[in-house]
């Protein structure tokens, strides 16, 4: 055992005394872990209007019966295992603030389809996707060329959703903008009021649409009113503008002009080969180690993850996040390590990573590798210092074909 490993073992032993309530550990509260490495956040909508990254979504974990989340994360920063008090839970993901009325402010929301249980001192795997849909109301307003030719510069359309909601004013310069309105279940009407001069006369006309639903896109078009077979005393004789609305369910239908083709939707040439499917890196635990369960290990256990990349250029990114009650960030920094390890760009942590054989002695990075056996067996002895605890290692391996996220969960039996 080299001097780095000896230092690590003794340093971890000395730091064990620091694992107390001061470090956030409370032995009076029963907790369990939720493996969320397979929990995905997805968008139901497939149009270009959804130009948002799911990494920026917020994920909240609610214990059943509570309106206050037990834990909240940015999806892109969420650890592989989330620690929660025991109980029955659901998870919610959302993006945006759901304003009463605002320009270009879509609000997406979704929840896990079923509840899951958190059991004391156990890891629960949650793999249900959270499918997020547009949850507010989208509106655009346009004016026909005939109306634009005769309406005054002061003309506008005021749109309001719900009896007590806020409103937005659409002018002729706002025809390429989208207004978003919070949906109110008890008051599901949309009112569009045109005001301004038309053919030199002041005009006010309100069109009301009932049964407004979240996730719907209301395309309102105002035109000049053209009476048909007008008779004296006809009430329509005073009308100067008309409005029509086209309703589209954003979460299910796709405008032809907005459609973004994914590989499975692209037309294939007759007689040609289908595009080659891109395969991201693969990570497989070498038996008896598995990335799909809690692995009981001892200080002498062999813990090896076989990694393979078939993309040109091999591995371009490789990070490991350590999630452990014992191996806190403060304690790791005291022995020259960190809870977030970058095996492609190790920086100042290179010597410590070499000492643990995470990176070979004669190399400075794992970048460019196409096959490797990531052996963390030498880490089992130091982990045993913390006694019977569970530790997680969140892997993210990237190449030109994409990224793969896996979490290794180890329960030490010293």
pLDDT of res. 220: 95
pLDDT of res. 259: 30
pLDDT of res. 94: 95
Q: What is the Cα–Cα distance from 10 to 16, expressed in whole angstroms?
A: 10
- The CB density around residue 211, as the number of other CB atoms within 10 Å, is 9
pLDDT of res. 238: 66
Q: What is the pLDDT of residues 191-239, one digit of tens each?
A: 999 999 999 899 999 999 888 889 899 999 999 987 755 544 444 456 7
Question: Model confidence at 322, in pLDDT bands (50, 70, 90)?
Answer: confident
Percentage of the chain beyond pLDDT 70 is 82
Q: What is the Cα–Cα distance from 327 to 346, expressed in whole angstroms?
A: 19
More confident residue, 254 or 238: 238
Rg of the chain, C-alpha, whole Å: 29
Q: What is the Cα–Cα distance from 130 to 234, expressed in whole angstroms?
A: 54
pLDDT of res. 50: 57
pLDDT of res. 5: 39
What's the mean pLDDT in 385-409? 87
Q: Look at residue 48 and tell me whether its pLDDT is greater than 80.
A: no
b/e string for 338-371 if b means 16 or more Cβ within 10 A? ebebbbbebeebbebbbbbbbbeeeeebbbebee
More confident residue, 361 or 104: 104
Tokens 């002498």 sit on residue: 300
Q: Give the pair of three-digit tokens for residue 87.
A: 């109980």
SS (H, E, C) 260-310: CCCHHHCCCCCCCCCCCCCCCCEEEECCCCCCCCEEEECCCCCCEEEEECC
Question: Model confidence at 252, in pLDDT bands (50, 70, 90)?
Answer: low
Closest CA to 283 of 411, 379, 405, 401: 405
Q: Measure Cα distances from 294 to 80, 122, 128, 236, 358 in Å.
A: 13, 8, 19, 73, 22
pLDDT of res. 288: 87
CA atoms within 13 A on the CB side of 259: 11
Q: Look at residue 73 and tell me whether its pLDDT is greater than 60.
A: yes
CA atoms within 13 A on the CB side of 5: 15
Q: Look at residue 245 and tell me whether its pLDDT is greater than 50.
A: yes
What's the mean pLDDT in 63-85? 91
What's the mean pLDDT in 369-387? 85
Q: Give the max Cα distance, the chain.
A: 104
Question: Model confidence at 15, in pLDDT bands (50, 70, 90)?
Answer: very low
Q: What is the Cα–Cα distance from 28 to 215, expressed in whole angstroms?
A: 45
Q: Look at residue 149 and tell me whether its pLDDT is greater than 90.
A: yes
**Worst-scoring range by mean pLDDT, 6-15, 314-323, 354-363?**
6-15
pTM of the model: 0.55
Q: Give the pair of three-digit tokens for residue 68.
A: 């206050």
pLDDT of res. 178: 95
What's the mean pLDDT in 307-333? 84
pLDDT of res. 345: 87
More confident residue, 24 or 191: 191
- The CB density around residue 321, as the number of other CB atoms within 10 Å, is 18
What's the mean pLDDT in 357-370? 86
């Amino acid at each position: 055992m080299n001097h780095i490993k000896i230092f690590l073992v003794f340093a971890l032993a000395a730091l064990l005394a620091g694992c107390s309530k001061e470090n956030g550990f409370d032995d009076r509260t029963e907790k369990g872990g939720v493996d969320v490495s397979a929990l995905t956040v997805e968008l139901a909508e497939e149009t270009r209007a959804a130009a948002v990254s799911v990494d920026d979504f917020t994920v909240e974990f609610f214990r059943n019966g509570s309106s206050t989340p037990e834990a909240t994360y940015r999806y892109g920063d969420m650890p592989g295992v989330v620690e929660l008090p025991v109980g029955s839970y659901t998870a919610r993901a959302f993006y945006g603030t759901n304003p009463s009325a605002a320009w270009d402010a879509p609000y997406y929301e979704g929840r896990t389809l079923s509840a899951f249980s958190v059991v004391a001192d156990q890891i629960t795997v949650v793999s249900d996707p959270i499918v997020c849909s547009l949850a507010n109301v989208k509106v655009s307003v346009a004016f026909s060329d005939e109306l634009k030719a005769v309406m005054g510069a002061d003309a506008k359309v005021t749109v309001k959703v719900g009896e007590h909601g806020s409103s937005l004013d659409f002018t002729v310069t706002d025809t390429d903008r989208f207004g978003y309105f919070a949906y109110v279940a008890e008051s599901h009407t949309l009112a569009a009021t045109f005001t301004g001069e038309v053919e030199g006369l002041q005009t006010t006309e309100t069109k009301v649409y009932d049964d407004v639903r979240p996730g719907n896109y209301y395309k309102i078009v105002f035109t000049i009113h053209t009476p048909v077979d007008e008779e004296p005393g006809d009430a329509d004789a005073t009308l100067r503008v008309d409005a029509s609305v086209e309703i589209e369910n954003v979460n299910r239908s796709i405008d032809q002009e907005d459609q973004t083709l994914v590989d499975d939707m692209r037309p294939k040439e007759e007689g040609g080969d289908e595009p080659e499917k891109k395969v991201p890196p693969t990570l497989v635990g070498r038996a008896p180690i598995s990335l799909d369960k809690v692995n009981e290990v001892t200080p002498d256990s062999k813990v090896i993850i076989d990694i393979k990349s078939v993309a040109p250029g091999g591995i371009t990114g490789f990070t490991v996040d350590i999630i452990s009650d014992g191996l806190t960030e403060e304690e790791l920094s005291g022995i020259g390590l960190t809870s977030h390890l970058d095996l492609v760009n190790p920086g100042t942590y290179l010597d410590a990573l070499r000492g643990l054989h995470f990176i070979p002695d004669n190399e400075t990075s794992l970048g460019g590798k196409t096959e490797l056996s990531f052996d963390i067996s030498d880490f089992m002895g130091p982990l045993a210092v913390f006694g019977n605890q569970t530790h997680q290692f969140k892997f993210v391996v990237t190449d030109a074909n994409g990224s793969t996220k896996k979490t290794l969960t180890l329960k030490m039996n010293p």
